[in-house]
């Protein structure tokens, strides 16, 4: 991906936590003098993606949109891609969260999932 298409940001922080009940992915950065945070919670039954930006909270992908987070169909991905307010960066981190949910389900090591998340987000952003 070229730098022109990357999202600019500062102070990137990515965290992945595997719990008994599911996975939690948190992404923090500063963009245009505002703080942005994405929180993705997932388990065998749902994926919820939320954005916290400049003291506002938006649920980008509600819990009832995906039937089986371990096997997301192309139709469900197409439905998510046309949701209002979802940009390319957010769509890509949703796809990343789908992969991390599968890692959690398959008992992958948490550090492996964290390394994958950091590499994916760094590829999508132009961190200065």
Residue 80 has pLDDT above 70, yes or no: yes
Residues 6+ apart with CB under 8 A from 36: 9, 28, 29, 30, 51, 52, 53
Buried b (16+ CB within 10 A) or exposed e, 18-52: beeebbbbbbbbeeeeeebebbbbbbeebbbbebe
Q: Residues 40-68: what's their mean pLDDT?
A: 91
Residue 114 has pLDDT above 90, yes or no: yes
Q: Considering the entire predicted model, what is its pTM?
A: 0.89
Write out pLDDT tens, residues 88-111: 889 999 999 999 999 999 999 999
With bands split at pLDDT 50, 70 and 90, how would you rate the model's confidence at 2? low
Write out pLDDT tens, residues 11-29: 889 999 999 999 999 999 9
């Amino acid at each position: 991906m070229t730098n022109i298409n990357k999202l600019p940001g500062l102070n990137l922080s990515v965290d992945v936590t595997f719990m008994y009940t599911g996975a939690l992915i948190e992404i923090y950065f500063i963009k245009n003098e505002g703080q942005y945070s994405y929180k993705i919670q997932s388990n065998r039954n749902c994926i919820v993606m939320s954005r916290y930006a400049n003291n506002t909270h938006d649920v980008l992908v509600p819990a009832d949109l995906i039937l089986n987070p371990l096997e997301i169909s192309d139709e469900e991905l197409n439905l998510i891609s046309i949701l209002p307010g979802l940009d390319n960066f957010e769509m890509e981190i949703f796809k990343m969260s789908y992969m991390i949910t599968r890692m959690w389900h398959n008992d992958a090591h948490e550090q492996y999932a964290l390394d994958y998340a950091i590499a994916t987000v760094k590829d999508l952003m132009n961190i200065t």
